[in-house]
Each structure stands twice: as structure tokens, then as C-alpha cells.
Amino acid sequence: MDFLLETKGLNPRSIALRMKIHHTNLYRVAAGKRPLTSTFAVNFEHHTNISSVWLTTGEGDMIKANVEIFSDEEIRFFYKIKKDAKLYELVKLLTKVKKDSYELLKGSILKFIK
């Protein structure tokens, strides 16, 4: 937190406001009184450019360079997937589909929607 204050002028309250969480939640996670979840880490990364991988594993660079930042809409979309175990399982399976099968799969899914 000191690093963000010194380099970007971000204090914990302003970070919490950006993350749309109560500042006490941020303090508790930073103090180790609450667990650091992957959702929290990704949200923190989105607003600070501090790597969620570095936060959760200690591996890699602390600062995300040339970050492609997710929009709030994308974060809500990912959260919705993560929250629903069956949807999460489907998305995990989709990541294993070969690119040349995308159109066929898309057509099949569209038939279910109609």
C-alpha cells in the first residue's frame, strides 16, 4: 500500500472507492485478517496495475506492464461465470475446443438459445 501511495498517490481509501468496496475490507485483506480471493486480487489489479498473480502467488513481476485492463462490464461477466459452478465448468471446457470448431459450436449453442 505504501508503494501505491508513494508512486501513484493512491491511499487505501481511494483504492477501495475505485474497487467499490468498503475501505475496511481492503485494510483487513492487506493485514491478513481476511483471505485474499482471486476475485479480490483481479479487482485490485484492475484498479492499481499490481499483478493479481504476484499478489496471490508471489511469482512474476509486481507491476503489470502494458496491461490490457478489463472493463467493469468484463469483470462483472467473469464474476458471473465464476459464481455459477456449472457455467464455470462449461467455460473451462470451451477453452479446450480447437479454433477450427468455433463456428460449429457457436451454431449449436445458438440453436439452444432459440
23-67 pLDDT, tens digit each: 999 999 999 999 999 999 999 998 998 999 999 999 998 988 765
Mean pLDDT of 6-32: 92
Domain ranges, ordered by start, for the chain: 2-70, 84-114
Q: Distance between CA atoms of 59 and 54, rounded to whole angstroms?
A: 5
Residue 51: the pLDDT is 92
Mean pLDDT of 99-114: 93
pTM summary value:
0.57
Residue 80: the pLDDT is 93
Residue 66: the pLDDT is 66
Q: How confident is the model at residue 71 (pLDDT cuts 50, 70, 90)?
A: confident
Least confident of 16-20, 23-27, 67-71, 74-78: 67-71
Sign of the torsion formed by the C-alpha atoms of 46, 49, 53 and 55: negative
Quote the distance between the C-alpha of residue 103 and its chain's center. 28
| Residue range 76-104, pLDDT digits in tens | 898 999 999 999 999 999 999 999 999 99
Q: What CATH architecture is 2-70? A: Orthogonal Bundle (1.10)
Grid coordinates representing 84 are: 455459477
